[in-house]
């Protein structure tokens, strides 16, 4: 039976100056985004990066587009054998950025994080992109996670918001260098992604 109340219309929650949560923005695109993610991972398998400090990250990563993450904190490396950023991903990221007030965003890269139970992302700034004048568009798929969003210094108080399947966060402008992270993932089973949470972040890296 068709259930009119199964999906909530998307809504926006301001997070900080220049940062907004687009709740459920991806709800009609989650299956397509997930298929894209699997397609990328088939060509560029998930890996657990080792940070310059020698720690193996609990989050597994892959990505597509012009630049890919090479290490937790080391930055980007241009790669010749990369998986292209598909038109579907590009258009999705542009529509989310536009909804958040960044209509001129043209990402060239998508980093994909996979969180298993207890995986976390410690507070960090996204500052490996060549120009910081473009926003970050972040899409959550699968199991929910607590997103920490702080200020410009690591010790600033963080907002803690639950990000669920289909939620999108966009931060740029005054928030572009805000510290952010993910609390350890609680175990669970999601109908689409099983025991995982996935996060796609779109960036203009080069």
* Residue (43 or 51) nearer to Fe ion, CB: 51
Provide, rounded to whole angstroms, the least separation between the CB of residue 4 and Fe ion.
36
* Residue (32 or 46) nearer to Fe ion, CB: 46
Decide: is 105 part of the binding site for ligand SIN (CB under 6 A).
no
* Residue (165 or 180) nearer to ligand SIN, CB: 180
* Residue (53 or 87) nearer to ligand SIN, CB: 53
Residues 6+ apart with CB under 8 A from 91: none
Provide, rounded to whole angstroms, the least separation between the CB of residue 147 and ligand SIN.
5
Decide: is 126 part of the binding site for Fe ion (CB under 5 A).
yes
Provide, rounded to whole angstroms, the least separation between the CB of residue 98 and ligand SIN.
20
Strand partners, 68: 77
Residue 89 phi/psi, 5° resolution? -65, -45
H-only helix segments in the chain: 30-43, 87-99
CA dihedral 168, 171, 172, 177 (to 10 degrees): -140
**Looking only at residues 125 through 184 of this chain, which bind ligand SIN when binding is defined by CB under 6 A?**
138, 140, 147, 180, 182
DSSP code for 194: B
Angle separating helix axes 30-43 and 87-99, nearest 10 degrees: 130
Residues of this chain that interact with ligand SIN (CB under 6 A) are: 113, 121, 138, 140, 147, 180, 182, 199, 201
């Amino acid at each position: 039976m068709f259930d009119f109340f199964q999906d909530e219309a998307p809504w926006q929650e301001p997070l900080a100056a220049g940062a907004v949560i687009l709740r459920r923005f991806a709800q009609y695109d989650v299956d397509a985004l997930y298929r894209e993610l699997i397609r990328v991972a088939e060509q560029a398998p998930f890996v657990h990066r080792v940070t310059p400090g020698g720690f193996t990250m609990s989050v597994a990563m892959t990505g597509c587009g012009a630049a890919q993450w090479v290490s937790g904190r080391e930055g980007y490396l241009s790669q010749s054998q990369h998986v292209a950023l598909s038109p579907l991903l590009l258009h999705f990221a542009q529509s989310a950025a536009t909804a958040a007030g960044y209509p001129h965003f043209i990402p060239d890269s998508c980093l994909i994080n996979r969180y298993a139970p207890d995986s976390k992302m410690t507070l960090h700034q996204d500052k490996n992109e060549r120009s910081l004048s473009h926003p970050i568009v972040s899409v959550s798929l699968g199991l929910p996670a607590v997103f920490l969003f702080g200020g410009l210094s690591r010790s600033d108080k963080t907002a803690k918001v639950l990000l669920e399947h289909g939620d999108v966060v966009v931060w740029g402008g005054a928030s572009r260098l805000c510290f952010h992270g993910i609390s350890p993932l609680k175990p669970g089973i999601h109908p689409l992604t099983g025991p995982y949470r996935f996060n796609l972040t779109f960036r203009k890296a080069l």
